[in-house]
Structure 1
Amino acid sequence: MEGLESDLEDMRQYFRSGKTKDAAWRQSQLKGLLLFMKENEKDIFKALKEDLGKHHAEAYRDEIGTLRKSINFALQGLKEWMSGKAAKLPKIALLTSAELVPEPLGLVLVISSWNFPFGLSLEPLIGAIAAGNTTVLKPSDLAPACASLLANVLPTYLDNKAVKVIPGGGAVGEHLLQQKWDKILFTGSARVGRIVMSAAVKHLTPVVLELGGKCPAVVDCLSSSWDKQVAVNRIIVSKFGACAGQACIAIDYILVERRFASTLVDLMKVMIKKMFGENPRETNSVARIVNRQHFLRLKNLLSDSAVRNSIVYGGSMDEKNLFIEPTILVDPPLDAAIMAEEIFGPLLPIITLDKIEDSVTFINSRPKPLAIYAFTKNEKFRRRMVSETSSGSLVFNDAVIQYAADTLPFGGIGESGVGKYHGKFSFETFSHYKAVVRRSFLTDFWFRFPPWNDYKLSLFEATYAFDYVGMLLVILGLKRYRYN
């Protein structure tokens, strides 16, 4: 961190030079990101395997493929995103035009998480670059192989005067937060999110906090053999096939009617074995827990005897290899830690209800989640979920897929996060839309100037009511305009 303040000042000066505002510069940096992904694919696979035990297919699906798509989307839309947009003015604004012109914020900080080390680092970086900012990226030290690759290799593909990667642990993060930024985007836990927001107050720095929470899945499709099979497939892969549940948008728990619980559990047991094998650790299809600290945290969630007794499938653990088998629980105590905090691992509680409509009340009794997943064909129930629940996103009949959609904003609400990004929303997050108004010298409304009198008051009233006929009558002396 020696010389950090000097480096940041150089980055601010580089931004002021206007270089990063050029469309050609932005395009060249995005192409550099794309080339980094292409030429270092094997090393990315290796780093993800080393840090998280991710299979190459999972790594490509969730990080490499998603990032390539996002970069190409930004390259295709950049020209349109950068252009000003005409703003509609009232008819009375004669010989006046206005537009909204996006401009970069300046020097921004991106602090990423360890569970998707490349995706959560480069996805916001795409938006920051596309918007024309200078950017400091701090990858998570909990994924050291990935952080090393980002710190040592990525800079060779980008303009080092505008983009810097600073690896390190908590002390580095704290030192970075003490600096002045034009925006901070943080991905991680709510606990650290509070620290980030507190630090940002010093300079009134705007923040985007991508946090998490307990994302529920409501299952109301078990009366149809086809629908329930499809739903279970999607639930299993979205929970256990997404970094072993170590994802902020992974399903945290399931809500289902009590009469269908055994059917759901039986189907899930079959599909877990089909997808991950009799011994998931040997099939290499489930990622491992990131480190011993998180492993012990998950192990502790099952330490209560009432929670252990609710396990109906799985539960085995291999501390040496940091592996936890996909585990299903039915009706653990609602006041237990497993139902009070975000699980962030391959443990899946199923909570049974008398009727599925009770799920709305259950969800609303808890903090607003980052995502809600509802598996149902009941249109009336869908409308209730849309109108009566609040979450960062709401997905019907699937899970996690919203993350990959560039045309949808990704972000939370309440305790699950502040702000949004992805696609053009990333560009907008790192831009300021400046109002630009152009007025002619040829016309003016004389009554806008003092001295004031009741006659001018009547004209103001007609003007702000957009009553052009009334204004004309006042001018002609045929009406004294007053309205209540």
Structure 2
Amino acid sequence: MRYGVLEESMNLMQIHGQFAALQANRGRIAASRAAERLGYLQQFKRAIEQARPDIYAALQADFAKPVAETEATEIQQVIEQINFAIKRLEGWMQPKRVKTPTMLAGSKSWIQYEPRGVVLILAPWNYPLSLALAPLVGAVAAGNCAIVRPSERTPHTAQVIANIIAAAFKAEHVTTVVGDIDTAEALLDLPFEHIFFTGSPRIGQYVMQRAAEHFSSVTLELGGKSPAIVDRSADLKRAAQLIVWGKFVNAGQTCVAPDHVWVQREQAQALTQLIIKQIERNYGKGDYTRLQSPDLANVIDANATARLRGLLNNSVAQGALVALGGQSTDHPARFAPTVLTNVKPGMAIMQEEIFGPILPILVYDQIDEVIMATRASGKPLTMAIFSENQAITNWLLREIPAGSSVINGVLLNLANPYLPFGGVGQSGLGNYYGFYSFKTFSHERAVFQQGGLNMVNLFQPPYRGAAKRLVAWSRRMLNKR
């Protein structure tokens, strides 16, 4: 498989030509049986496995992502989704019988899943392979045609994605469109049946507005200020180990990473020291060693390092303290694992999703303070709770709405294909993974088959006699429930 960089965006005529080819083929793909779709998924899996060396090299070239992280968080994430779908697709495609009320006795009701048609997947740069290809698993399983648009900020990975898709699918079934913002705008001009977007809330809102022009349904996987809340009953050593891993994998550029930590005031110093020791264990003891660690990815570009420096410097000016780190370079774009203490909710670092390797630690006296502050910052994409107190855990789950929650852990809900993944409110709309991906890219068609007893004939105007008795009978039936 050739490895290189796509040097130029597709022009408008090419994009419209690809879209027309997909539309012309959508009916045949929609009518495909389970065996045919399984064949597509198996080809897809083989193409990814054969591209492994290219994937490693591309992510290293784009932002120095360690091979171990690429394997675990990019390649295996997609292959697990494919394996899960292959084992269950035939069952997913079967019509689902549902109950029929007594008043409709003799009739049958069921739901059948139908493809949406031609769908668009707009992928981000932070997990450029998995967040482009994992949604595609559901789109293909559900019988759709698709265009995948990888991020232009990771050009080497975009080329590999294009190669994988070309090896696995015919161009009139699934194709790749690579280009800049103008290319994305040209795609949004087209009448897709469904748009799947992963990115920032601001751009997600714009995608939703553009989708409304064509009555396209949308799935929006966004982000937010996802907290890690450490209760006084928590195992602090375990919490520190997991928070550090979850925060600094992919250099903190993970939408479900702990954005910040809340800890009870009496335990703040102990937890901070455990976090610092764990960072030193993972990335080295010296400032320069950590900054240059081969186990820490780059941030995406110099603009990202400048943004992170601005958040850090403004917060320090407001009274935050740098307990560890703070070093950065623009070329290459590196930012050392950083711990901030004495952080308050009103500081700059708490006003937007950090999306980088800076970990603010906030203290609380009463858990109500955490609940109020978290709810004030919007519904997070995820929430990590470290607690051995089930009552506190249940209280937090009840009081803080979130897209997902992990108890005594971080991130690993994404490794469970039986769970849906998605946000709520400004952190997202809709979900996917496993069956939920199939469902996202399907229309649930309700089918009702009337039985031999024709109740409608008893309810014809004029509404006297039998019609009145039927209404009275149905009212009595409802009152018994």
Q: Which residue in the other structure is 2:308 paired with?
A: 298
Check whether the contact 2:48–2:164 (CA below 8 A) recurs between aligned residues. no
- Residue 459 of structure 1: which of 435, 459, 470 is its match? 470
Q: Which amino acid aligns with 1:284?
A: P
Cα gap change, 1:353/1:12 in structure 2, threshold over 3 Å: closer, same or farther? same
Contact 2:30 2:117 in 1 (8 A): no
Compared CA separation, residues 62 and 452, structure 1 to 2 (3 A): same
Q: How well do the aligned residues superpose, as a CA RMSD in angstroms?
A: 1.8
Q: Which residue in 2 is equivalent to 1:265?
A: 272
Partner of 1:351: 362
The aligned counterpart of 1:477 is none
Matched, 1:418 2:425: no
Determine the structure 1 residue equivalent to 2:54: 43
1:84 matched residue in structure 2: 95
Secondary structure at 2:148 match in 1: strand
Cα separation, partners in 2 of 1:4 and 1:87, compared to 1, 3 Å: same
Q: How does 1:90-239 map to 2 (within 5 A)?
A: 90-221=101-232, 227-239=235-247
TM-score normalised by L of structure 1: 0.92
Segment of structure 1 superposing worse, 206-215 or 399-408: 399-408
Q: Once the two structures are superposed, what CA deviation does each residue of 1:8-45 show, in whole Å capped at 9, x if it has no partner?
A: 12211211235653222211111121111211111101
- Shifted more, 425-434 versus 357-366: the winner is 357-366
Q: Distance in 2 between matches of 1:399 and 1:240?
A: 12
Closer/same/farther in 2, CA of residues 113 and 308 from structure 1, 3 Å limit = farther
1:424 and 1:316 map into 2 onto residues whose CA distance is 43
Go from structure 1 to structure 2 and tell me whether the alpha carbon gap of 1:168 and 1:445 turns closer, same or farther (over 3 Å shift): closer
Q: 234, 248, 258: which one pairs with 1:251?
A: 258
Structure 1 SS opposite 2:367 = coil
3-state SS, counterpart of residue 85 of structure 2: helix
1:107 CA displacement: 0.4
Shift of 1:454: 6.1
Cα deviation digits, residues 213-256 of structure 1 (max 9, x gap): 010000115x67xx211111100000012x11101101101111
Task: Give the whole-Å Cα distance in 2 for the aligned partners of 1:161 and 1:282.
Answer: 45
Change in 2 beyond 3 A, CA 1:369/1:309: closer
Distance in 1 between the 2:319 and 2:457 partners? Answer: 80
Q: Does 1:396 align with 2:407?
A: yes
Change (3 A) 1:291 1:258: same
CA contact (8 A) 1:256 1:356 kept: no
The structure with the largest alpha-carbon Rg is 1
Residue of structure 2 equivalent to 1:475: none
Cross-structure match for 1:340: 351
The more displaced of 133-142 and 49-58 is 49-58
Amino acid at match of 2:290: P
Q: Residue 373 of structure 1 is aligned with which of 381, 384, 405?
A: 384
Q: Is the 8 A contact 1:20 1:134 kept in 2?
A: no
SS of 2:104's equivalent in the other structure is coil
Please state whether the residue corresponding to 2:121 is helix, strand or coil.
strand
Deviation at 1:435, TM superposition (A): 1.2
CA 1:187 to 1:159, structure 2 compared with 1: closer, same or farther past 3 Å?
Answer: same
Distance 1:135 1:465, change over 3 A: farther
Name whichever of 6-15 and 66-75 sits farther off: 6-15
| Letter aligned with residue 466 of structure 1 | M
Query: How far apart in 1 are the matches of 2:14 and 2:324?
Result: 54
Deviation per CA, 1:364-421: give whole Å up to 9, x if none.
2221100011100111111111211100011111111111211111110111011100
Between the two proteins, the alignment pairs up a number of residues equal to 465
Q: Return the offset for 1:439.
A: 2.3
- Aligned: 1:63 with 2:71: no
Q: CA deviation at 1:468?
A: 11
1:100-131: CA deviation from partner (whole Å, max 9, x where unpaired): 00010100000001110111001100000000
Q: TM-score, normalised by structure 2?
A: 0.93
The amino acid that maps onto 2:15 is: L
Q: In 1, distance between residues paired with 2:455 and 2:424? A: 45
- Pairwise CA distance, 1:153: 3.9
* Contact 1:391-1:413 at 8 Å conserved across structures: yes
Residue matched to 1:326? 337
Q: What percentage of aligned pairs have identical amino acids?
A: 33
**1:479 match:** none
Which letter does structure 2 place at the counterpart of 1:251?
A: P
